[in-house]
């Protein structure tokens, strides 16, 4: 049975990770200090080292926490069977763009931020970040596979390639949105991707009409 001390310790640990998600999403790995983190969490610096072996180990846990949070966001939209599969992707893109707008475009994608900083320098981080991106690709691909089964896109569409293209375009758009302080790049990326799928759907309808 968990004791009051255990629950308190777990709460502090979770709070440090929660704050880390916000800091790393906004500032990246090298632009934040442990002093800043513990000050925001309201705990002594020694508490950090009680819960985490190093800043690197901490960042890896933050990545894991962010990945779980973002997977839930994706599942909420991509699993919404009240919408057709393409509309689900649109709904996710709208939610994500609104989220960036809400934070005045200061926060981007934690995975994108850290990939730019760390992927070329540290194999452990590269592997962890790639694993997250691959998971996101699989979730979009599954939604596109549903669209294929529903006849919304071509039966021979390469949904794995489309999912890769979506995230490549989206992560680039997140960076541009931070630079421009505008959601326009995100809307452009989403609309271009959906337009491509819509064109594929129209080609399917036209082919069926000619039979």
Each residue's pLDDT tens digit, 151-196: 999 888 999 999 999 999 999 999 999 999 999 999 999 999 999 8
Query: What's the pLDDT score for residue 19?
Result: 95
Domain 63-210 has CATH 1.10.357.10: yes
What is the Cα gyration radius of the chain? 20
Query: What's the pLDDT score for residue 7?
Result: 53
Q: Which residue has the higher pLDDT, 130 or 155?
A: 130
**Residue 19 — left, alpha, or beta (φ > 0 → left; ψ -120 to 50 → alpha)?**
alpha
Query: What's the pLDDT score for residue 11?
Result: 85
Query: What's the pLDDT score for residue 5?
Result: 47
CB-count exposure of residue 143 (10 Å: 0-12, 13-18, 19+):
buried
Number of continuous H segments (helices) and E segments (strands) in the chain: 9, 0
Query: What's the pLDDT score for residue 17?
Result: 96
In the chain, where the domains are located: 63-210
What's the pLDDT tens digit per position in 51-82? Answer: 999 999 999 999 999 999 999 999 999 999 99
Beta carbons within 8 Å of 60's beta carbon, 6+ residues apart: 124, 125, 128
Enclosing H/E stretch for 53 = none
Query: What's the pLDDT score for residue 84?
Result: 95
CB-count exposure of residue 92 (10 Å: 0-12, 13-18, 19+):
buried
Which of 1, 2, 8 lies closest to 50 in space, CA to CA? Answer: 8
User: How is residue 96 annotated by DSSP?
Assistant: H
């Amino acid at each position: 049975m968990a004791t009051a001390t255990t629950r308190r310790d777990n709460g502090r640990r979770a709070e440090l990770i929660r704050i880390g998600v916000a800091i790393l999403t906004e500032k990246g790995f090298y632009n934040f200090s442990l002093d800043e983190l513990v000050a925001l969490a309201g705990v002594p610096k020694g508490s950090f080292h009680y819960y985490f072996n190093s800043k690197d180990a901490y960042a890896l846990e933050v990545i894991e926490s962010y990945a779980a949070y973002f997977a839930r966001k994706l599942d909420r939209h991509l699993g919404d069977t009240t919408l057709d599969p393409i509309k689900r992707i649109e709904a996710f893109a709208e939610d994500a763009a609104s989220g960036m707008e809400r934070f005045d475009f200061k926060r981007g994608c934690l995975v994108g931020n850290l990939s730019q900083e760390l992927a070329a320098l540290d194999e452990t981080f590269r592997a962890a970040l790639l694993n997250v991106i691959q998971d996101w690709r699989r979730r979009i691909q599954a939604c596109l596979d549903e669209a294929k089964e529903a006849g919304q896109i071509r039966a021979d569409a390469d949904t794995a390639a489309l999912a890769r293209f979506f995230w490549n375009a989206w992560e680039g758009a997140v960076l541009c949105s931070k630079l421009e302080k505008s959601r326009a790049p995100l809307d452009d990326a989403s609309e271009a991707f959906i337009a491509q799928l819509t064109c594929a759907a129209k080609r399917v309808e036209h082919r069926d009409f000619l039979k």
